[in-house]
Structure formats: C-alpha cells, structure tokens
Amino acid sequence: MSERLNFVLLAALVLCALSLVNAQYQARQLFIELERAQTQTRQLDIEWSQLQLDQSTLGLHSRIDALARRDLNMVPLTHERTQYLTLEAK
C-alpha cells in the first residue's frame, strides 16, 4: 500500500518539478517580451517628441509668413477688408 502511495507521490513530485521548470521558462519569455515592449515605448516616446519638434519647426510663424508672402502671394489682413459679423442682440 505504502509502496503505491510512494509511487503516486513520486509521480506528483516529478510533475511539479517539470511544471516549475515550464513556469520559469514562460516567465522569462514573457519578461523578455515586456522588456521589448518597454523599449518600444521609449522609442515611440522619442519619436513622438521628434515629431512634435518637427511640427513646431515646420509651423514656425516666420516660416508660414514667408511662405504665404513669397509662394502664395498673400498679403496681411487689414481692417478695411474685413467683414465683421456680430450676433444679433436680443
């Protein structure tokens, strides 16, 4: 009887040991994936900052001003050429 019990326990032990090994392996895989994702986050953050900076650089008022005047032949708005619309007073 006790021999059978021992056998069962042995089998359980081996199973537990194997599952531990497996769990550890899985954990490491997931950890590496997490690591990769975090690196990507940083990379994207940097890229985002870069794009924001580019947006600011390309959207400089001096640049827009120059482009509008030179390439699009635009002139600054003046008061005389502005039609003001006001909400009807109730």
Which one, 4 or 61, has the nearer CB to other proteins? 61
Give the Å distances, CA to CA, from 44 to 3, 37, 40, 47, 57: 61, 10, 6, 5, 19
CB 74 within 8 A of CB 68: yes
Distance CA 29, CA 73 (A): 60
Q: Which is nearer to other proteins, 13 or 67 (CB)?
A: 67
Task: Rank residues 57 and 73 by Cβ distance to other proteins and give the closer one.
Answer: 57
> Residue 80 has which token pair?
């005389």
Q: Which stretch binds other proteins (CB under 8 A): 1-9, 15-23, 55-63, 66-74?
A: 55-63
- Chain residues binding other proteins by CB under 8 A are 27-28, 31-32, 35, 46, 49-50, 52-53, 55-57, 59-62, 65, 76-80, 82, 84, 86
